[in-house]
Amino acid sequence: MVFLLAVNSFSLGTIMAGEIPHTINDGKAADKNVEAQSTFASTLVVDVEKSLHGKETDPSKSCVSPNGMSVSTPTNQAGSNPVYAAKAQLLNQALLDMQMGLYQWVLFIITSAGWSLDSFWIMSFVVIAPSASNEAQFFFAGDKSSYLFVSLAVGLTVGATAWPWMSDILGRRWIFTSTIVLMGMGGLVGAGMPSFTGLCVVGFVVGFAVAGNQLVTAIILIESLPASHQFLLTVQGAFWGLGQVVSAAVGWAFIAGYTCGTGPDAVSTSQALSTHSSRDEAPPRAAHPATTFPTKDGATHYLYTSLCAIPGPLAAGILIQTKRLGRTRTGSAIALLTGLFMLLATLARSRNALLAFECILSFLQFAGLAVLTTYTVETFAAPVRGFGVAIMGFWWGLFALVAVIVNTFAGGVVAGGAAVWFCGAVWVLLAGAWWRVPETRGGAAA
């Protein structure tokens, strides 16, 4: 575009130089010459504006993706800055011309591993919470397992807000590396933490790192993919479920078998203590409060719901590429189904029925989260993409925090189904909100 403007200006300047007399002796002729130059300058400004905004010089191009979808790289999606819009268009067109290369596929694998770790750590706290709370009863009265999730939710809220915003200032790579290292350090410290209070602090640190890594990873990937493969960000959501499956499988294999005392073991241990203390009392009886001892059934429950989270983003990745649905209609349909099934789940009267509803909701919620993340990073331009994602992350973490606080301090409300009805209604309203936003299918992220 700049080259065309330069050529146009040079050509018009040459014509103007040829038409202006070299020798001007008359004052009236000089005045007329000045008026002619002013008139010509005004037409030159108009020509430049037309060249910037005219359809005939619009550098937007389109190509066909591997699935036959037409993909364009319009400059008007990059905001009102024409310089940045031109740069974004050139970069997106270059990515389209190169298509998916080794760098993009390796980056996809790395970021997918990051998403798996994010989900793995969150599910790990869910798996260890009953055993950790059981040990905490030696120091605190009552069941304090919910305090661990409050700490985790606070960390998620702060991390989802701070890390993406800082990535606009400090860069994406530094943030990605920092969150990965922080997650690993938190896990190592938490594994040997002797106190429940210290474990809650570790939960905050891990949640702070997990939320930042999850959102910044999405930004890194979308800024390196060609427009024809931006749907891979939605497909990558399947690795959230994969991380949960690994964590739940570890809990199913080890937690229930090696951290939960059985009846005979508890009796023999108590008798040995009684003999050592020279105090004979009535044979002790093992007690198994349902809220403090994880069981094989509980670990299997986590495993089933985690497995159902994997195909959700895969199906969403296919649907958002279809012409009839796209991002907005797919997001609306998923939100509506999620709300309806949450309302129907309150009618479940058996354990198996409730498990079936939770598996369906796991499928839908992870699919909806993948579509929402993809749409958000596609909508905001690169200079403010982190800020836009931070807004989404703040509300995501805040609602999680509110849910945990309600469950901790108002358990009766949750047991009565009021919280589930509220969440279902919010999902239904979200389905309507999807129809009010523009479609981003077929357009390159600026």
Query: Is the residue at 282 inside a domain?
Result: no
Mean pLDDT of 77-92: 70
pLDDT > 90: percent of the chain = 25
Query: Is the residue at 145 inside a domain?
Result: yes
pLDDT at 437 over 60: yes
Mean pLDDT of 343-356: 87
Q: In this structure, what CATH number is given to the domain that contains residue 163?
A: 1.20.1250.20
Query: Is the residue at 279 inside a domain?
Result: no
Query: Is the residue at 86 inside a domain?
Result: no
Mean pLDDT of 98-121: 89
**Percent of the chain as helix, strand, coil, to the nearest 5:** 75, 0, 20
d(CA 326, CA 62): 18
pLDDT tens string 223-250: 888 888 888 999 999 999 899 888 888 8
Residue 39 has what pLDDT? Answer: 47
Mean pLDDT of 88-101: 79
Provide CB contacts within 8 A for 145, sequence distance 6+. Answer: 129, 130, 132, 133, 136, 291, 292
Round the average pLDDT of the chain to a whole number and report it: 76
Structure-token pair, residue 188 = 């190592």
Query: Is the residue at 74 inside a domain?
Result: no
- What range defines the domain where residue 423 resides? 1-12+99-258+293-435
Residue 415 has what pLDDT? Answer: 63
Query: Is the residue at 379 inside a domain?
Result: yes
Residue 77 has what pLDDT? Answer: 53
H-only helix segments in 283-417: 296-309, 311-319, 326-345, 351-379, 382-409, 411-416
Query: Is the residue at 286 inside a domain?
Result: no
Residue 67 has what pLDDT? Answer: 54
Mean pLDDT of 278-306: 57
pLDDT at 7 over 60: no
Residue 251 has what pLDDT? Answer: 75
Nearest to 385 by CA among 90, 96, 88: 88
Residue 260 has what pLDDT? Answer: 54
Count of domains forming the chain: 1
Reported as a pLDDT band with limits 50, 70 and 90, residue 267 is low
Query: Is the residue at 68 inside a domain?
Result: no
Residue 429 has what pLDDT? Answer: 93
Is-above-0.85 flag for pTM?
no
pLDDT at 66 over 60: no
pLDDT at 64 over 60: no
Backbone angles phi, psi at 62, to 5 degrees: -140, 150
pLDDT at 276 over 60: no
Residue 62 has what pLDDT? Answer: 55
